[in-house]
């Protein structure tokens, strides 16, 4: 069995990171559009919706937050996996693109999106009260 070329794998890993980064942005955009539509329909319909319909739309809001949050976490997991692999490959290739990238632990894009999902989930849960 032959060993692959680290440079080729590095190119693939970089492409995978771009793909998951773009996916995260697209998912967030869809999430915001879906929630805007749910908010508009649920709270501004004329004539007002029936209590059952309103309840079901609120349940839909909760389900949407959970579904998109899970997809976000999985996409972030894959992005971080490929980033770790890129750092490993950089040692072999004597590259530094991902090894020396600026990174934050607490104040990060991932945590900002988590906060957004938590806030929207809290809103939908509170809407039942």
Give domain status of residue 73, yes or no.
yes
Within the chain, how many helices (H) and strands (E) appear?
3, 0
Q: Is residue 112 part of a domain?
A: yes
Asked if residue 2 has pLDDT above 80, the reply is no
Q: Which of 89, 100, 109, 123 is nearest to 6 (CA)?
A: 89
Task: Give the count of domains, the chain.
Answer: 1
User: pLDDT above 70 covers what percent of the chain?
Assistant: 98
pTM greater than the 0.95 cutoff: no
68 burial (CB, 10 Å; 0-12 / 13-18 / 19+) is buried
Residue 48 lies in a domain: yes
Domain extent, residue 99, equals: 6-126
pLDDT of residue 1: 45
Residue 82, domain member (yes or no): yes
| 29-52 confidence digits (pLDDT tens) | 999 999 999 999 999 999 999 999
36 in a structural domain? yes
User: Within 10 A of 52 (CB to CB), how many other CB atoms are there?
Assistant: 8
Average per-residue pLDDT for the chain: 95
- Assess if residue 1 is contained within a domain: no
């Amino acid at each position: 069995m032959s060993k692959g070329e680290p440079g080729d794998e590095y190119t693939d890993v970089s492409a995978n990171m771009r793909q998951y980064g773009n996916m995260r942005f697209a998912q967030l955009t869809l999430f915001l559009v879906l929630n805007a539509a749910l908010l508009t329909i649920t709270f501004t319909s004329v004539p007002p919706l029936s209590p059952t319909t309103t309840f079901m739309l609120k349940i839909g809001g909760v389900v949407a937050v959970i579904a998109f949050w899970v997809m976000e976490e999985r996409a972030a997991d894959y992005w971080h996996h490929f980033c770790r692999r890129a750092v490993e490959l950089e040692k072999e290739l004597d590259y530094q693109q991902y090894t020396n990238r600026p990174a934050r632990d607490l104040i990060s894009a991932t945590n900002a999106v988590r906060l957004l999902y938590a806030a929207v989930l809290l809103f939908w849960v509170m809407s039942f009260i």
